[in-house]
């Protein structure tokens, strides 16, 4: 009788009243007892329990959702056992939402990304020349630039390209074709490998002939091996269930520049089956991997599977929901192990996770051209085609002026960059973040700089652009300063000299990240539009309890100054009234959403 | 587990002092093998590869079998072919030509000569690679297909694929590539005699038929589909979404027209902003390096499936036709692959799309084996 209430949960729309009352008295005594489809629907708990006990087959009852019982309504679920395939009458699912974390050993990538090498060349006229430090993850264009500018260029130089698959240029191997014909007795060579115990570069090839070009290959060799520890943990699992963690490790041959030599290099590593702690509903596991010289064994993806056991009934005849009073006999039951993938990790390219840029000042370890020319240093931060940073921190730089991710670099930013900290950089005045960029960012701290606004949408447009009609003009272009462009790629100009300040179909474009939780733009020179955009960016976030600091703006004169007078009655008739009102109402909305908002100046009067 | 691989790379010819592209290039296929402990056979035996033999298996070109084109490309080894390192020179490459070279290296451990043969390795001890060489701007080359209209033999010039797509396939190190590219017009063209021989052979065991379904007919440059496998284009432009240029003006033309409409199949479609965005993405995701080439965006309405099975290209004999020639046999054969002009057969509903199946006959003359030669 105690199960009647459970039955009622799912049975609301199914002829409940009559059936329940009729079946409460009905007992199942074994295979000789006739049942009907209605019986099964009305009292699933009872039949599951009785059948399980009768045939001595256990099942994970606590993992079964009541709603799943109604699968019995689908004739596709229950088939005629005479056809050979008894089916489940319910499907196991998790009522809980488990959390799962996997931390792969970051030394996998760091050992390569932190390392660098140099190229050298005995210049016939200028003597020994060394290139700047080169990362093992540069594009061909960057390698070409370094050779041209540091070693030799023109007809006496080289043309650099990828060996192997031209879509995957990182980590080489690279081709160096001499631009001139003749025997080359003085080729470029690798002079320094900062971490040669792990990785080293070598140039080898054909030295040319009387009428032939010399042709070399720059290969990187994984010269070391190591053991790596990966941790897996999770919580909020169902107690007592079985958890299986599977990770696929992929062998990457650096010298060949390919991820998989053949399918056998995909190594699924089973973490084994571990019972979830019955008290804490948590689990923790550790896996170690070893890689050998030449091959980098990297985790490609991971998944967690929860195994439960359900029951399938074997019926004497076809179960027909359209003939709900047809007599059936339960002649058997089969345990059904049910593996459910409850978590699947994202692909973890080894250039993507836990990679942070953190630099300070203009000195040897600062954001200087020498150190970070490939990112646009020192004037700008432009992103990179291959480096997926999760965090960027540039502080106390007097050189950096702007931040902009050009289109060709945006794929490395969109999904991974979550933290941007550019603080106390007095000349930093351009921050451009467009609609489809920075969608993963959660923390932005640009305090102590010289920002006027965000995305430069304030000074060159007539005020009607900011009307409150909700209709903004599309395709408003803003000129991009040269130092914020990375125009050259593959010999063509792929970076637009103008940005779309207003993306089609969108409002003027503040950061559009639903994950944004922390915004600090204190101590800048924000005008009204600037304040408006940062408030809008915070409002776009779905998150509660965020932080927004717009205080201490350098006061300016005129309508662009961040002066707000409270809600205006003539809001829709003036030049900038909408911004005024939207800023005020936006702040109020954020506070209602439990955001901490720090402001001063005119807002103090609100 | 022991492994060995050779990079499949793309090469562009160098430029001379005047900036003109040269007609040759050096290629250096790199053999990479398992090192250290990984260099073991399945039974744990440590292998030491000490014997190498390089060979050029096949040379192909987009100029082969193409209309008004001929290929003169040659491949010669510059170094010993019995060492791990090898360099070849590919010469006589013409402007716009793309040369595909299949290069293999057989490897062996002389102390354990049988181990590699026993390996579960796709080619045993022979490692195969695809090398692709081009000069200038790779060009699409048309080929000729014969058909009949009202009993009269006609010809059409058509394209089977965009050259950029073919290069990409070759560069992807697809080991099956060279066995497949022969099935393109550039790779191999059958005359009617060869076709009939193969046809009879196949038919005798009853496992292959040659039928063609005309799934679309139109005048805008669209060809035909054969057994759902290959789509042809009469006009090179049909292969691309906005041409081969990546300039913004070309791409923005997609805001006003839908490239699918170049294939008159069904109701004309309005401009699709998604295609425009796709083109912008394609523009900024170009491959890097001197050897890479501009990758235009392909026409989303042109559903080429890459390298596809071979089919029949009837060709008339160059000898005087007719039964008066004792060294020939002439007659009529059922030709299965047929080019159907836009107006034939007439669609019952007068709609531009006409799905149907038409088997026609082709007159042929076959050179008989010379009995007294």
pTM of the model: 0.74
Which tokens go with A459?
């000074």
Report whether pLDDT(A64) > 70. Answer: no
Q: Per-residue pLDDT for B84 more than 90?
A: yes
List pLDDT tens digits, range A151-166.
999 999 999 998 887 7
Of B28, B285, B289, the CB nearest to A215: B28
**A107–chain B Cβ distance below 8 A for any pair:** no
What pLDDT score was predicted for residue A449? 95
pLDDT tens, residue by residue, A521-549: 999 988 777 888 888 889 888 788 899 99
* Domain-wise residue ranges, chain A: 356-540+549-566
Coil, helix or strand at residue A210 = coil
Is A425 a residue whose pLDDT tops 80?
yes
Residues near A272 by beta carbon (within 8 Å), at least 6 away in sequence? A244, A245, A285
**Who contacts A317 (Cβ-Cβ below 8 Å, separation ≥6)?**
A80, A82, A326, A328, A329
Task: Give the pLDDT band of residue A603 (cuts 50, 70, 90).
Answer: low
pLDDT of residue A12 exceeding 80: no
The pLDDT-based confidence of A57 (bands split at 50, 70, 90) is confident
Q: What is the mean pLDDT of chain B?
A: 69
Interface of A with B in 472-491 (CB under 8 A): 489-490
Nearest to A190 by CA among A156, A155, A221: A221
Q: Tell me what pLDDT residue A310 has.
A: 66
Let me know if B45 is exposed, middle or buried by CB neighbors in 10 A (0-12, 13-18, 19+). Answer: middle
Measuring CA to CA, how many Å separate A352 from each of A11, A70, A106, A349, B71?
49, 44, 10, 5, 45
B255-289 confidence digits (pLDDT tens) = 888 888 877 666 788 888 889 989 988 988 888 88
Res A113 pLDDT > 80 = no
Mean per-residue pLDDT, A430-453 = 85
Interface membership of B19 toward A (CB under 8 Å) = no
- The token duo for A166 is 């031209």
Q: Which of A578-592, B56-70, B157-171, B347-361 has the lowest mean pLDDT?
A: B347-361
What per-residue confidence (pLDDT) applies to A96?
59
Cβ distance of B292 and A253 shorter than 8 Å = no
Question: How many C-beta atoms lie closer than 10 Å to residue A198's C-beta?
Answer: 21
Q: How crowded is the C-beta side of A337, counted as CA atoms within 13 Å?
A: 6
CB atoms < 10 A from the CB of A3, how many? 14
Write the residue in B37, B246, B288 that is nearest to A139 by C-beta: B288
Question: Does B30 contact A163 at a Cβ distance shorter than 8 Å?
Answer: yes
Residue A500 clears pLDDT 80, i.e. is over it:
no
Tell me what pLDDT residue A472 has.
Answer: 53
Which alpha helices (DSSP H) does A280-383 contain, by range? Answer: 369-372
Q: Which of the listed ranges A175-189, A322-336, B153-167, B359-373 does the model predict with the highest average pLDDT?
A: A175-189
Interface test with B, best of A256, A260, A407 (most B CBs within 10 A): A256
Q: Which residues of A55-84 are buried (b: 16+ CB within 10 A; e: fewer)?
A: bebebbeebbebebbbebeeeebbeebeee
B277 and chain A in contact, CB less than 8 A: no
Q: Where are the beta strands (DSSP E) in A447-562?
A: 476-479, 488-489, 492-493, 498-502, 518-520, 547-549
pLDDT at position A23 is 45
Find out whether A203 and A214 touch, Cβ atoms under 8 Å. Answer: no
Q: In the predicted model, is pLDDT for residue B12 greater than 80?
A: yes
Residues in A touching B28 (Cβ below 8 Å): 175, 205-206, 215-217
When the pLDDT of each residue in chain A is averaged and rounded to a whole number, the result is 75
**Which CATH architecture describes the domain B4-134?**
Sandwich (2.60)
Region of poorest pLDDT, from A130-139, A416-425, A456-465, B21-30: A456-465
pLDDT interval class at A176 (50, 70, 90): very high
The domain locations on chain B are 4-134, 141-163+189-373
| Residue A272 vs residue A12, higher pLDDT | A272
Closest-CA distance, A541 to chain B, in angstroms, reads: 25
Asked if residue A173 has a cis previous peptide bond (ω within 30° of 0), the answer is: yes
Is A177 within 8 Å of B290 when comparing Cβ atoms? yes
Q: What is the predicted pLDDT for the residue at B219?
A: 30
Helix ranges restricted to H, A405-497:
411-414
Burial B184-214 (b: 16+ CB within 10 A, else e): bbbbebbbbbebbeebeeeeeeeeeebebeb
Task: With CB atoms and an 8 Å threshold, state whether A257 touches B7.
Answer: yes
Higher pLDDT among residues A449 and B157, named by residue: A449
- pLDDT per residue as tens digits for the range B306-339: 433 333 344 333 333 333 444 544 554 443 333 3
Beta bridge partners of B257: none
Residues 535-554 in A contacting B (C-alpha not used; CB under 8 Å): none
Q: Respond yes or no on whether ipTM tops 0.95.
A: no
| Minimal C-alpha gap between A396 and chain B (Å) | 33
Which residue among A179, A204, A265 sits closest to B85, beta carbon to beta carbon?
A204
Please name the residues in contact with B188: beta carbons below 8 A apart, sequence gap of 6 or more.
B65, B182, B310
Mean pLDDT along residues A220-226:
82
Residue at token pair 């670099």: A409
Q: Give the E-state strand segments of A254-387 in sequence order.
A: 266-275, 283-291, 295-315, 328-344, 356-360, 380-381
Q: What is the DSSP letter of A209?
A: B
pLDDT value at residue A252: 75
Among B78, B273, B289, the residue with its CB nearest the CB of A162 is B289
| Between A535 and B223, residue with greater pLDDT | A535
For A489, the closest chain B residue by CA position comes to B288
pLDDT tier at B78 (50, 70, 90 boundaries)? very high
pLDDT tens across A551-594, in order? 888 755 444 555 555 555 444 444 444 566 778 888 888 999 99
Q: Tokens at residue A411, please? A: 């794929």
CA distance B232 to chain A (A): 27
pLDDT at B13: 95
Query: What pLDDT shows up at residue A487?
Result: 78
| The predicted structure's pLDDT at residue B363 | 47
Can you give the pLDDT at residue B56? 93
pLDDT of residue B74: 96
Best probe of the A interface among B288, B295, B296, by most A CBs < 10 A, is B288
- What count of CB pairs under 8 Å joins A to B? 159
pLDDT value, residue A424:
97
**Which residue in A210, A566, A232 sits closest to B89, CA to CA?**
A210
What average pLDDT does this structure show over A322-326?
80
A 196-255 residues with CB < 8 A to B: 204-206, 208-209, 212-217, 219, 253, 255
By the CB < 8 Å criterion, does B132 face chain A?
Answer: no
Q: Give B1's pLDDT tier (boundaries 50, 70, 90).
A: low
Distances (CA, A) of A265 to A101, A249, A299, A563, B47: 25, 8, 12, 63, 18
**What pLDDT is recorded for position A421?**
97
Answer whether residue B246 shows pLDDT above 70.
yes
Q: What is the pLDDT of residues B205-214, one digit of tens each?
A: 333 333 333 3
Highest mean pLDDT among A215-224, A249-258, A580-589, B179-188: A215-224
Burial of B217 (0-12, 13-18, 19+ CB in 10 A): buried
Contact at CB, B30 and A173, closer than 8 angstroms: yes
Residues 157-176 of A with CB under 8 A from B: 159-167, 169, 173-175
- For the stretch A357-388, pLDDT in tens is 999 999 998 999 989 999 999 999 999 888 88
Q: Is the pLDDT of residue B23 over 70?
A: yes
Percent of chain A whose pLDDT exceeds 70: 69
Percent helix, strand and coil across chain A, each to the nearest 5? 20, 30, 50
A401: Cα separation from own chain's centroid: 27
pLDDT the model gives residue B367: 44
Cis peptide leading into residue A378 (ω within 30°): yes
Residues of A in contact with B288 (CB under 8 A): 139-141, 161-162, 166, 169, 385, 489-490
**Which residues from chain B sit within 8 angstroms of residue A496, using beta carbons?**
248
Task: With a cut of 90, say whether residue B347 has pLDDT above it.
Answer: no
């Amino acid at each position: 009788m105690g199960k009647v209430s459970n039955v009622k949960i799912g049975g609301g729309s199914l002829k409940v009243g009559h059936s329940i009352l009729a079946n409460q008295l009905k007992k199942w005594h074994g295979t000789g007892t006739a049942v009907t489809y209605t019986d099964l629907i009305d009292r699933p708990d009872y039949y599951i329990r009785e059948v399980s006990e009768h045939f001595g087959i256990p099942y994970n009852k606590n993992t079964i959702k009541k709603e799943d019982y109604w699968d019995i309504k689908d004739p596709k679920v229950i088939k005629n056992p005479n056809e050979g395939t008894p089916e489940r009458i319910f499907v196991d699912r998790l009522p809980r939402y488990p959390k799962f974390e996997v931390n792969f050993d970051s030394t996998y990538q760091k050992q390569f990304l932190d390392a660098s090498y140099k190229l050298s060349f005995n210049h016939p006229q200028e003597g020994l020349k060394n290139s700047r430090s080169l990362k093992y993850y540069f594009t061909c264009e960057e390698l070409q630039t370094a050779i041209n500018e540091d070693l030799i260029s023109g007809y006496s130089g080289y043309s650099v390209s990828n060996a192997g698959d031209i879509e995957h240029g990182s980590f080489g191997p690279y081709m160096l074709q001499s631009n001139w014909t003749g025997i080359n007795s003085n080729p470029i060579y690798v002079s320094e490998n900062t971490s040669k115990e792990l990785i080293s570069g070598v140039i080898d090839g054909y030295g040319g002939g009387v009428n032939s070009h010399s042709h070399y290959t720059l290969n990187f060799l994984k010269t070391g091996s190591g053991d790596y520890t990966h941790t897996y943990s999770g919580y909020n699992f169902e107690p007592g269930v079985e958890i299986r963690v599977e990770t696929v490790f992929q062998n990457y041959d650096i010298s060949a520049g390919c991820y998989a030599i053949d399918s056998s290099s995909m190594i699924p590593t089973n973490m084994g089956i571990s019972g979830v702690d019955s008290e804490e509903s948590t689990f923790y596991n550790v896996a170690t991997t070893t890689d050998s010289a030449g091959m980098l064994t990297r985790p490609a993806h991971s998944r967690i599977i929860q195994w439960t056991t359900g029951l399938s009934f074997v019926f004497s005849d076809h179960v027909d929901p359209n003939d709900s009073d047809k007599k059936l006999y339960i002649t058997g039951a089969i345990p059904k192990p049910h593996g459910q993938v409850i978590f699947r990790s994202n692909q973890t390219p080894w250039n993507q996770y836990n990679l942070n840029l953190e630099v300070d000042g203009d000195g040897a370890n600062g954001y200087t051209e020498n150190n970070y020319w490939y990112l646009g240093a020192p004037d700008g931060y432009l992103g990179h085609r291959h480096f997926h940073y999760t965090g960027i921190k540039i502080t106390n730089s007097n050189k950096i002026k702007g931040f902009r991710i050009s289109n060709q670099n945006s794929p490395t930013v969109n999904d991974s960059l979550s933290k941007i900290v550019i603080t106390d950089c007095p000349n930093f005045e351009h921050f451009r973040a467009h609609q489809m960029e920075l969608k993963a960012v959660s923390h932005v701290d640009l305090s102590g700089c010289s920002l006027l606004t965000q995305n430069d949408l304030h000074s060159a447009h007539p005020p009607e652009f900011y009307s409150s009609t909700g209709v903004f003009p599309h395709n408003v272009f803003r000129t991009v300063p040269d130092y914020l462009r990375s125009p050259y790629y593959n010999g063509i100009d792929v970076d637009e000299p103008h940005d779309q300040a207003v993306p089609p179909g969108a409002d003027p474009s503040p950061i559009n990240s639903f994950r944004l939780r922390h915004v600090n733009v204190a101590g800048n020179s924000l005008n009204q539009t600037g304040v408006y955009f940062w408030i809008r960016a915070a409002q776009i976030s779905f998150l509660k309890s965020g932080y927004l600091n717009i205080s201490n703006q350098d006061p300016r004169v005129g309508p662009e100054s961040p002066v707000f007078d409270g809600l205006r009655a003539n809001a829709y008739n003036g030049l900038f009234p909408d911004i005024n009102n939207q800023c005020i109402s936006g702040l109020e909305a954020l506070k209602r959403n439990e955001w901490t908002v720090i402001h001063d100046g005119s807002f103090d009067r609100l | 587990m022991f492994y060995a691989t050779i990079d499949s790379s793309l090469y562009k010819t160098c430029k001379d002092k005047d900036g003109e592209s040269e007609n040759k290039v050096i290629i250096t296929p790199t053999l990479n093998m398992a090192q250290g402990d990984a260099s073991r056979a399945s039974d744990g035996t440590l292998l030491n590869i000490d014997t190498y033999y390089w060979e050029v298996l096949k040379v192909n070109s987009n100029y082969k079998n193409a209309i008004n084109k001929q290929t003169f490309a040659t491949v010669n080894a510059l170094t010993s072919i019995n060492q791990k390192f090898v360099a070849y020179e590919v010469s006589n490459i013409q402007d716009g030509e793309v040369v595909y070279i299949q290069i293999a290296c057989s490897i062996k451990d002389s102390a354990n000569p049988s181990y590699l043969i026993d390996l579960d390795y796709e080619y045993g001890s022979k490692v195969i690679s695809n090398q692709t060489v081009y000069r200038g701007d790779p060009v699409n080359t048309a080929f000729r297909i014969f058909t009949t209209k009202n009993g009269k033999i006609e010809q059409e010039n058509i394209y089977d694929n965009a050259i950029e797509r073919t290069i990409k396939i070759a560069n992807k190190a697809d080991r099956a590539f060279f066995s497949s590219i022969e099935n393109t017009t550039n790779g191999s063209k059958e005359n009617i005699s060869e076709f009939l021989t193969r046809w009879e052979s196949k038919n005798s065991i009853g496992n292959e038929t040659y039928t063609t379904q005309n799934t679309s007919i139109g005048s805008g440059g669209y060809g035909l589909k054969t057994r759902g496998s290959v789509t042809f284009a009469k006009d090179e432009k049909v292969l691309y979404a906005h041409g081969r240029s990546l300039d913004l003006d070309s791409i923005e033309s997609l805001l006003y027209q839908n490239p699918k409409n170049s294939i008159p199949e069904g109701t004309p479609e309005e401009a699709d902003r998604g295609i425009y965005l796709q083109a912008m993405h394609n523009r900024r995701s170009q491959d890097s390096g001197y050897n890479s080439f501009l990758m235009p965006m392909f026409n989303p309405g042109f559903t080429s499936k890459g390298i596809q099975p071979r089919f029949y290209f009837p060709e008339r004999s160059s000898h005087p036709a007719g039964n008066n020639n004792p060294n020939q046999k002439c007659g009529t054969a059922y030709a299965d692959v047929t080019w159907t002009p836009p107006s034939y057969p007439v669609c019952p509903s007068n709609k531009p799309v006409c799905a149907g199946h038409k088997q026609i006959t082709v007159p042929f003359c076959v050179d008989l084996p010379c009995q007294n030669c």
